[in-house]
A = this chain, B = another copy of it.
Amino acid sequence: MFGKMAYGGTIALTVGVVAVEHLHAPTLVLFAVAALALVGLAWVLGQATESLGHHAGPRIGGILNATFGNAAELIITIFALAEGLTTVVKASIIGSIIGNVLLVLGASILLGGLKNGVQSFSVEIAGINASMLAIVAAALSLPTIFAVTNPGPNPTNLSIEVAVVMFVLYILYLLYILRSPEGTATAEGGEAPFGRIASLLLLFVATAAVAYVSEAFVGAIEPLTEEYGISELFVGVILVPIVGNIAEHVVGVQIAYKNNMDFSMGISLGSSIQVALLVTPLLVFLGPLLGHPLRLSFTTLELAALGAAVVVTGFVALDGKSNWLEGAMLCGVYVIAALAFFFS
C-alpha cells in the first residue's frame, strides 16, 4: 500500500520536474519539486538495490548495498561538480557524514530510547564502526591541514594520492564484507519485491531518472543562493545530504524504534564510511575529467563539525548503551551546526 503510493508519488514528482522546467517556473519551485523527486528516486534506487541483492545472495548483496547505497548522492554531487560547484560538493561530503552520525543516529537513539528505554548494542560492532569513522575523518582532515599551512599551487596532487589511498581502503572494506561470515548485518529476510530482470531494469531506470533530476536540482542551486541569500555551504552541508539520504534515514530510525540498535547504527555509521571511502575518491578522480579538480581542503567550520561529530559518536557508541537524552543531544549538536552553517 505505502509502496504503491510511494512509487506513484515518485513518478508524479519526476514528471513534475520535467513540467516545471519547461514552464520556466520560479527557481524555488523547481528546487523544491526536484528535491522531493530525488527523495523518492533515492528510495526507489534503494529498493532496486535491495531486491537485486536478494537474488544475488547475501555476500554480493552486501557489496551491492555498499556500492549503490549512496548512488543518488554520488550522482547529485557529480552533476554539482560538473557545474563547478566545488564548495557545494565538498560541503555535501561533510554534511552527509555529520547528518548520518548526528541527525540520523540522534533521531534513532531519541525515538528508540523514548519507545524502549535504555537500549543496548554490541560494543564490538559499534566500536569497529566508530574506529573506522574516526580513521576516515582523520584521512579527510589531514590534506586540509596541509592545504591551509602550505598555500602553494600543487595540493591537487596530494588530493589525488590521498584519494587513491582511500579507494584502496574501500576495496579492503569490500573484501572484509566478503570474508566476514555474516556479510554486513542485513535486514530481515523476506521475499525479493521484484524479479531479477525487473530489479535490474528498475535500477537502470531509477539511476537515469536520478541523473536527469539531479541536473535540474543542481542547476537551481546557484540561482537559489543568489536570489535568497542562502549560503552555498548551507545548501551543501544541510540540504543536499538530506535530499540524497532521507529515505535511508527513515529506515534507520524505524529500525531503532524496533529496538535493533546494532543494525540501525550499522546503517548510519556505514553510510558515513561509504561516503568518505567511495564517494569522495570518485569525485576527486572525476574532477579533472569534468574540468573542475576537487581539492580535499575543507573549511575550518566543516572540519570542526566533522571532528565534533566523530568524537561525540565514538563516546556514545563505546559504552554500549544509549538513552533518549543522548539522542536529543546529538540532534541538538546537529541543529547548532546547521545554525552555524546557515549564518556562514
Q: Residues of A with Cβ closer than 8 Å to B? A: 123-124, 126-128, 130-132, 134-139, 141-143, 145-146, 148-150, 154-155, 157-158, 161-162, 165-166, 168-169, 172-173, 176, 299-301, 304-305, 308-312, 314-316, 318-321, 323-326, 328-330, 332-333, 335-337, 339-340, 343-344
Given contacts A132-B325, A325-B172, A335-B165, contact A142 B315 (CB under 8 A): no
Contacting residue for A326 out of B131, B143, B319, B326, CB 8 A: B131
- Asked whether, in the complex, the Cβ of B127 is within 8 Å of the Cβ of A304, the reply is no
Main secondary structure of the interface of A (DSSP, over half): helix
A142-B337, A162-B340, A169-B328 are known contacts; what are 19 more A-B pairs with Cβ within 8 Å? A124-B320, A126-B319, A127-B319, A128-B321, A132-B326, A132-B329, A134-B312, A134-B315, A135-B312, A142-B305, A142-B336, A145-B340, A149-B301, A150-B344, A155-B343, A169-B329, A176-B324, A310-B311, A311-B314
Contact assessment for A135 and B329 in the assembled complex, using a CB-CB cutoff below 8 Å: yes
Q: Which residues of B contact A304 (CB under 8 A)?
A: 141-142, 145
Number of identical protomers: 3
B158 and A330 within 8 A (CB): no
Partner of A145, one of B143, B301, B312, B324: B301
Identify which of B142, B162, B340 contacts A308 (C-beta below 8 A): B142
Q: How far is the CA of A308 from the CA of B142 in the complex (A)?
A: 9
Which are the 6 A-B pairs with shortest beta-carbon distances?
A127-B319, A138-B308, A135-B329, A146-B340, A145-B304, A131-B315
Q: Which residues of B contact A323 (CB under 8 A)?
A: 128, 176
